[in-house]
Amino acid sequence: MGEEGTEGTVHLLCLATSSGVPLFCRSTRGGVPTRQQLPFSVIGSLNGVHMFGQNLEVQLNSARTEHTTVVLLLGLEELTNIRNIERLKKELRASYYLIDSFLGEPELIGDLTQCVDCVVPPEGSLLQEALSGFAEATSTAFVSLMVSGRVVAATEGWWRLGMPEAVLLPWLLGSLPPQTARDYPVYLPHGSPTVPHRLLTLTLLPGLELCLLCGPQPPLSQLDPQLLELWWQPLLEPLRACVQLGPRALPADHPLHEDILGLLLLHLELRRCLFTVEPSRDREPSAEHRRRLLRSFYTLVASMHFPPEPGPSSEEKVEDTAQRAHLPRACYLVSGPEEPDTGWRLVALQSGPRRLLLLLSPQSPTHGLRNLATHTLQALTPLL
């Protein structure tokens, strides 16, 4: 819920439906976590509305109670069958970093697109080969290399993870404080909501982590320095280049048109995306403003202009096929007055499984937006 006149304050309140006892309340103001809490009278009122609606089999749409829960750090059994509410409240504290990162203004976009945030390393084939060899040496199928919550490279097993865990795991790591190594129990909302897996992480360089999702084996102690040195020491320079990527997502030498201030490229079949607002950082608007513009534009595009297409079906009607043939493939928006050299340009282009969104400077002429987007998509297609 949000509050008016409080500089964009947002509260996330979690209640036990059976008793109305608050499990946690997390708040942000202007995208920054705050200790401000909701008054007990407001909490009681919300619970009363929920119980009233529940008794009448009425769903509280304004609070978005879709009965959807994210159980990444706590099992579904613990959330649905509460035995000790004080213990549950204590265990939920492990989720605060993750929850706060969703309430703030994240640098990632996977929460909105349900695609995995990725980066394109300069020496991708070398890193992929080393990652596969390391996974075989540790007998672990689910291994990835991450920088700032974005996937640099991953094994086939890791890419086979379902949604939402494929998005949540990198997001979780991006929200946690830096550590040299971790042995973290996690539940997979889709794949294993009641039995935890182990998420092992090892920091190769500051900001760059090696991640393994596994069962009881291997122990963290087995991932000794000699094993790491064998596979990763020869790739020290390519690894350093990955650290430099960070929010840019693309190699520094990858050419982009000078009018591009930010971009979002999605591969809708692979469920992966590249998102950056780093080009031309010395120009307005700020990185935060660019992210807000692209996120808002994506929401508009996905909901109104590029709706999901139905899958192939033997019973598909002729009129449905004709309707799909007339779906838009490009659109643009001017944020502000559409006058020369004013208003940020936003353009979206869909081609096959790929969708590209660009934020462009006011100097970019509207009649050339589609051509610029087409050339940019062609240049980015080999990367994703």
Q: What are the C-alpha distances in Å from 337 to residues 262, 276, 291, 342? A: 20, 25, 20, 6
Quote the CA–CA distance of 41 and 11 in Å, as a whole number: 15
pLDDT for res 1: 38
The answer to whether residues 203 and 145 touch, using CB atoms and an 8 Å cutoff, is no
Fold assignment, 260-306+327-383: Beta-Lactamase (3.30.450)
Quote the CA–CA distance of 359 and 293 in Å, as a whole number: 8
pLDDT for res 245: 86
| β-pair type (344-351, 330-335) | antiparallel
pLDDT for res 6: 43
Instruction: Enumerate the CATH 3.30.450 domain ranges in the chain, comma separated.
Output: 121-248, 260-306+327-383
Q: What is the pLDDT along the chain (384 residues), one digit of tens a residue?
A: 344 334 567 777 777 766 667 777 787 777 677 766 656 666 666 666 666 666 666 655 544 434 444 475 666 777 778 888 888 888 888 888 888 888 888 889 999 999 999 999 988 899 999 999 999 988 899 999 999 889 999 999 999 998 889 999 999 988 888 889 999 899 888 888 888 999 999 999 999 999 999 988 888 877 777 788 889 999 999 999 999 887 889 988 888 999 999 999 999 999 999 999 988 777 888 999 999 999 999 999 998 888 665 444 444 455 555 555 567 789 998 887 666 677 899 999 999 999 999 999 998 988 899 999 999 999 999 998
pLDDT for res 313: 44
Instruction: Return phi, psi of residue 266, to 5°.
Output: -120, 140
Quote the CA–CA distance of 102 and 110 in Å, as a whole number: 10
Closest CA to 295 of 113, 53, 144, 34: 113
We find that the CATH architecture of domain 121-248 is: 2-Layer Sandwich (3.30)
Closest CA to 263 of 245, 244, 250, 272: 250
DSSP 8-state class, residue 132: H
DSSP 8-state class, residue 249: -
State the burial class of residue 286 (Cβ atoms within 10 Å of its Cβ: 0-12, 13-18, 19+).
exposed
In this structure, the chain runs to a length of: 384
pLDDT for res 157: 94
Does 365 sit behind a cis peptide bond, omega within 30 degrees of 0 on the bond before it? no
Quote the CA–CA distance of 215 and 164 in Å, as a whole number: 19
Quote the CA–CA distance of 195 and 206 in Å, as a whole number: 31
Q: Which helix (H) or strand (E) holds 158?
A: helix 156-159
